[in-house]
Amino acid sequence: GGFAFFWEYTVLREFITGKGIPLIFPIFGLFFSLAGAYFIFGRFIYKRIQKKNTYYIVTNKRVLRLTNMRAKNMKAQFINLIPSINKTVGSDGVGTISFGSAPLYASMYANSGMDFFTSMNGMDILAFYDINDVEQVYQMVNELRRSESELCG
């Protein structure tokens, strides 16, 4: 990001003063500057907006995540088909529940504002991020899994 900003500043300064820099150089630098700005701070703004527009739902049969941004996006998983549940809890009780496991290269982008790296490859697993009282939701889903397995078994 820093190099892209430096490039853009230098090229624009030279272009404006009429030093014969072609227009393609500032345009080229603009794309990298915008990408750098997104990686440095824009992803946190996007994550905040996404969080305000995401709803987590637990029913007796499924867990669902509904995101209502430019388009509505729903990801669901049947409770009896959840391979594993992973839970992370902070000291304030806020945490994350992941329904399944993703490879390390996919999970490192989860909930970072750069999740598009994993969702493009189909590596996006269903997870509830930054939820209050994560322990209660974890126990509820586990209880539903147990009761579902007793019905099927």
**For 126-138, how does the pLDDT look when each residue is reduced to its tens digit (9 = 90+)?**
999 999 989 999 9
Q: Alpha-carbon Rg of the chain, whole angstroms?
A: 22
Angstrom CA distances, 60 to 36, 77, 128, stand at 43, 12, 17
Label the pairing between strands 95-99 and 54-58. Answer: unpaired
How far is the C-alpha of 98 from the C-alpha of 136, rounded, in Å? Answer: 14
pLDDT for 49 equals 92
pLDDT for 59 equals 94
Half-sphere CA count of 48, side-chain side, radius 13 A: 5
pTM over the 0.85 mark: no
pLDDT tens for residues 42-72? Answer: 999 999 999 999 999 999 999 999 999 888 9
pLDDT for 34 equals 93
pLDDT for 122 equals 64
